[in-house]
Amino acid sequence: MFLFNLLLVFSFIGLLLLLTCIGWWVYVRISPFHIAVNRIPGPKSLPFIGNTLDIAGGLQDILYILQEKWPQQFGGIYRFFVGTHCYVTVSSPEMMEIILSSQKTIDKGSSYDQLVPWLGQGLLINSGDLWRSRRKMLTPAFHFSILNSFIEVFNEQSRILCGILDDVCASFAEGKAEIDVYPFLTKCSLDIICETTMGTRINAQTEDSDYVNAVYRIGRLLVERFQNPFMRNPTIFSFTALGKEHERLLKTLHGFTESVIHNRREVLSQKINDEIDHTETGIKNRLPLLDLLLKASNNGEVLSSQDIRNEIDTFMVEGHDTTASLLGWFLYSMAANPDCQKKVWNELQSTFGDSERYFKQQDISNLKYLECCIKETLRIYPSVPGVERTVVEDIQLGEYLVPAGCTLGLLVYAAHRNPKFFPDPLVFNPERFFPDEAIGRHPYAYVPFSAGPRNCIGQRFALLESKTVLSTLLRRFKFEIAPNAKQPILSDNLILKSMNGINLLVSRR
């Protein structure tokens, strides 16, 4: 009797699953939403789990599948499902222009929801009138004159980095060290963004930091969560080991930012006028972003303490990890293309000679080839390989109608490697960005800082920082590929990173 009842239960469950699958099969064929999205080419998906199994591999597999395999297979637009949620991804410059230039399709995609516990409704995530008001409020922090005042910070932290690399090289008999440069660059960029954004020195380059370690880990954790549709449910996620680790990391990250904000409030409360002279930090006559936010907060009436923390956390993340990615891939490109490195070196020699002087704003006009190399690095290795938008109302992309409710994925990495616009796309060729070479190229074929109304607010900051750090490094060090070095394994870890580091031979010039 027991076996009969058990068989009856399993039969009932099987019948229920069959009816559910049949119901889903019927629904996706009569639903206007699915009729529209299924006209868009894409991989076959399974009921309820979609294409989850296709992207269930490692972090490097996601990058390959989404940005190489499927664009090559389906073209400049395709769709796929994570669970029952539909993603429509584009790498066509014409379609990217429609999306990025739109004043309506400005809401970030659903994947950004995972960042809300960390970044809250900061500038990266918020939308609508809130985004417009915050963008307007924060834009003055990136004024040309303020950026110029930060060059001293860029130079000082670059010198510290050079001193550290000098010591590492000196510890080897031949004065040539094989090292993973990425952690050194990350800590340098973190020191820079902390000092310029928060007016606080954390000495990440010279001291161990729980904050740095937390930033490293949380990016990878969030991508691991994206791969599992069940983890999208906050309740389920909170009970998992990954969810518990996430909570521990958030305490570290938020605790650090709140401590800095509290200390900064006390510093500012002691000032009588706007002339800031921070003897405890060594920062003079600069207006960090945090100061701007605190002054604009009007004792919490305009910006609450949490609002300020959200914006600072956002700029800490966007401002250091993306730049570190650019710096790392630039040095790798120089090492892999010694002829280009030689040209940059010659340009630096003609500008600086053998002097040890600091980089100046006026030097930029003399460093055209360095700038082209930076642009080519961002083409092959865009720091942010993709961005998302939520479709709040139907949008027409070429012959396809993308219905509201989808998430649009803009594949920057794939667009930058499109041979139609960049012949031999895997070849590092800075001449692509010579003025006469760029004539006629679609303006949205190259969007390393996004474009349109939601372009990167800090792009001038990032480029000025990069030029300062890289010119300082290349004046003092030569970078080479080790004879038996393994190729970097690219992965989409929110930021474009190498799974096995960026290992280079570094020697003093």
pLDDT band at 32, cuts 50/70/90? confident
pLDDT band at 225, cuts 50/70/90? confident
What local confidence, expressed as pLDDT, does residue 340 receive? Answer: 98
Q: What is the DSSP string of 462-480?
A: HHHHHHHHHHHHHHHEEEE
What value does the mean pLDDT take over residues 464-482? Answer: 96
pLDDT band at 281, cuts 50/70/90? very low
CB atoms within 10 A of CB 146: 17
pLDDT at 15 over 80: no
The model's pLDDT over 253-262, given as tens digits with 9 standing for 90+, comes to: 999 888 888 8
What value does the mean pLDDT take over residues 130-156? Answer: 87
pLDDT at 283 over 50: no
CATH number given to 31-508: 1.10.630.10
Q: Which whole-number Å values give the CA distances from 262 to 176, 294, 346, 348, in the listed order?
A: 44, 10, 47, 42
**Cα 258 to the chain's mean position, in Å?**
23
What local confidence, expressed as pLDDT, does residue 152 receive? Answer: 93
Least confident range from 227-231, 271-275, 428-432, 458-462: namely 271-275
What local confidence, expressed as pLDDT, does residue 23 receive? Answer: 59
- Per DSSP, the three-state class of 458 is coil
pTM, two decimal places? 0.89
pLDDT band at 273, cuts 50/70/90? very low
What value does the mean pLDDT take over residues 301-323? Answer: 87
The DSSP 8-state label assigned to residue 327 in this structure reads H
What amino acid occupies position 413? Y
pLDDT: which is higher, 242 or 58: 242
What local confidence, expressed as pLDDT, does residue 139 receive? Answer: 85
Question: Buried b / exposed e across 96-121, counting CB within 10 Å, b at 16+?
Answer: bbbbbeeeebbbbbbbbebbebbbbb
What local confidence, expressed as pLDDT, does residue 69 receive? Answer: 95
The model's pLDDT over 355-388, given as tens digits with 9 standing for 90+, comes to: 889 999 899 999 999 999 999 999 999 999 999 9
Q: Where are the domains of the chain?
A: 31-508
What local confidence, expressed as pLDDT, does residue 437 receive? Answer: 87
